Chain A
Amino acid sequence: MNIKVYVPRDATALSLGAGRVAAAIEREAQSRGLQVQLVRNGSRGLFWLEPLVEVATAEGRHAYGPVTVQDIPSLFDAGFIEGKAHPLHLGLTEEIKELKSQQRLTFARVGIIDPVSVDDYVAHDGYAGLKRALTMSPGEIVDAVTQSGLRGRGGAAFPTGIKWKTVLDQPPQQKYVTCNADEGDSGTFADRMLMEGDPLMLIEGMTIAGIAVGATQGYIYLRAEYPHAHRALNEAIAVARASGYLGSNVLGSGKQFELEVRLGAGAYICGEETSMLESLEGKRGEVRVRPPLPAIKGLFGRPTIVNNVISLASVPVILAKGADFYKDFGTGKSRGTIPLQLAGNIKHGGLIERAFGLTLRELIYDYGVGSASGRPIRAVQVGGPLGAYIPASQFDTAIDYEALSAIGALLGHGGVVAFDDTVDMAGMARYAMEFCAKESCGKCTPCRIGSTRGVELMDRVLANVDRDRNLQLVEELCDTMLHGSLCGLGGMTPFPVQSALKYFPEDFRKTVQ
């Protein structure tokens, strides 16, 4: 009897001891003379249960967690390899409330399959999208993506199909597909989880993109802070190539598509698409002036698709099940599903993929179960370091592009960071300016100089030096940065600052001891 036991190789699971747990299970099984096949899957995204160990039984997969090395002997004693009871037993994984209520399209396989097995991927509907795309004309593929209503999940929410159409319409020449995997926003980890848990889905999406627009080379620009994702991507590219899904003759179609991972080097700005292209070319990550658009003159001056990991990974299911299937999820102009990342001071943090329209309150309290500290949640920051702080009075806002924009916020890449009532919002506003000053590429003055002046002004406000006048100057500086910056870094750093000022003015007026 060969029993399959799953222990994640996901970076968060490893950070909580999954590697040691996997080794202990192997040791214990060996000493008991049991045949156990260990599968290193991705994470289900229920991080308060990690390391989450699963075992395959006839009735489905049983989950146990959070498991420590000390629990292993008692798990074996209790018969966990047959799915039997134990204090850590969570029942069938699929029945866990927080997982069952999700609508997983992009993360359908993450945590379920062996991320670097083509056989496992194909057995779970993988590569159905590519096979379908190979029967379609380039124009039909691009139309399907446009019809699905998919908008860029990196943060800008630009319609993906329109980008693709622009690249397709350029005369035949060397074109590129690039994937922006420089997931630098604090509070986000969806790209990382997908690359570690189902990298072949990203590879399939990029291959479809290449075939759609006539690009033969793809690059994944991955941040250097993600060594686990780097290993998973390189392993997955190697197995895809060995199985004929990448290379000079993709699945015998005569179409060519090659893929390479390139590492960034710790610059937040390289998540901005033109800066990312400069960096991919081996240069300083300085933002380019647009136009020309990357779709017309992108990497090495050629027509280039630049899409986020989740955007590209959403493409296979759109092709496999049709644009209408995807479009039927969601609301208004926010179609499909959004993988939300719940982080920060939160009890049950993790990945929640749902159709657009869940409210912040449902996310924070139904899924997150409140703060980790047990204190009231005072604010959430949505959309990374350039996103607005949202006060508790607005937690009934729906999570979709339009509803958030209506309250002066933005969804960005879908990260939601919770703060309890010990947070100092004036300190967070100062930090936003400090971060911008550290990460500015230096090309435009409002961002390069403005952010440094912003830190100085905030220091004076905090020290109660000429406070009213300096707060006025902060507002004026925000206005200059917002309207005068070349890209989103300088142009959006004002959002967290202004929202903190608007909703938490009392934090800026504390008496100085």
Chain B
Amino acid sequence: MSADRALRDPLDESTRGQIEAALAAHQGRPGPLLQVLHEVQNRLGYVPPAAIPIIAEALNLSRADVHGVVTFYHHFRQAPGGRHVIQLCQAEACRSMHCEQLTEHVQRKLGVELHGTTSDGRYTLEPVYCLGNCACSPAVMIDGELHGRVTPDSFDALIAPLS
């Protein structure tokens, strides 16, 4: 029921404008849906549920098609994330360097679990399965910037300057 309400929620002018700009950038190319969703998320920080019918209509797809794609991929967020997105690698190479301990530390330090956003809206914490930095594990990405051989102390130093 709440999802249904979200779909009917009117979007403000500027949000709608961003969605339309995202569509304009990729519409007309073959199979553009994934690229449109990337563009929407780049512009808004997430893919609002109310964007789905607009995208569906513009690309001549059903709402179910678009919803299905948004929910299939881990990368797309359906609610706004924090001001900073922190991705902690959980894959084998990082496990060989005990990334579970780093993850514990980060969760405790920020007071939020993986997949969660801190209550002040500052950080979103996400698991990620390989950042391709496997010879310098554990790897962490903060707002698109990659860091290697991260320790609890070096993690604290990395987030200290973030507001």
Contacts and interface: CB of A to CB of B under 8 A. Distances in A.
Tell me, yes or no, whether A binds B.
yes
A187 B130 CA distance: 8
Interface string A447-483: 0000000000000000000000000000000000000
A183 to B, nearest CB: 6
Contact of A12 (B96, B133, B144): B133
A48 B95 CA distance: 19
B130 A344 contact: no
Contacts of B30: 281, 300
A431 B38 CA distance: 29
Interface string B115-141: 000000000000011111111110101
A428 B92 contact: yes
B93 A344 contact: yes
B93 A343 contact: yes
Interface residues of A, number: 62
Interface stretch (B6-14, B102-110, B145-153): B145-153
B101 to A, nearest CB: 11
B74 A267 contact: yes
A184 B130 contact: yes
A175 interface: no
B133 to A, nearest CB: 5
Q: What size tier do the contact residues of chain B reach? A: 35 or more
B15 interface: no
Contacts of B23: none
B21 interface: no
Interface of B: 30-38, 65, 68-69, 72-76, 91-98, 128-137, 139, 141, 144-149
16 contacts: A12-B136, A15-B133, A183-B132, A184-B129, A186-B134, A225-B131, A263-B34, A265-B73, A266-B73, A266-B75, A267-B75, A281-B30, A346-B135, A349-B134, A415-B134, A435-B91
Given A265-B75, A266-B74, 17 more contacts: A15-B136, A16-B148, A186-B129, A188-B132, A265-B34, A266-B128, A268-B129, A280-B31, A284-B68, A284-B69, A344-B92, A344-B135, A344-B137, A385-B91, A417-B134, A423-B96, A438-B129
Interface of A: 11-12, 14-16, 47-48, 50, 183-189, 192, 224-228, 262-268, 279-286, 300, 341-346, 349-350, 372, 381, 384-385, 415, 417-420, 422-423, 428, 431, 435, 438-439, 441
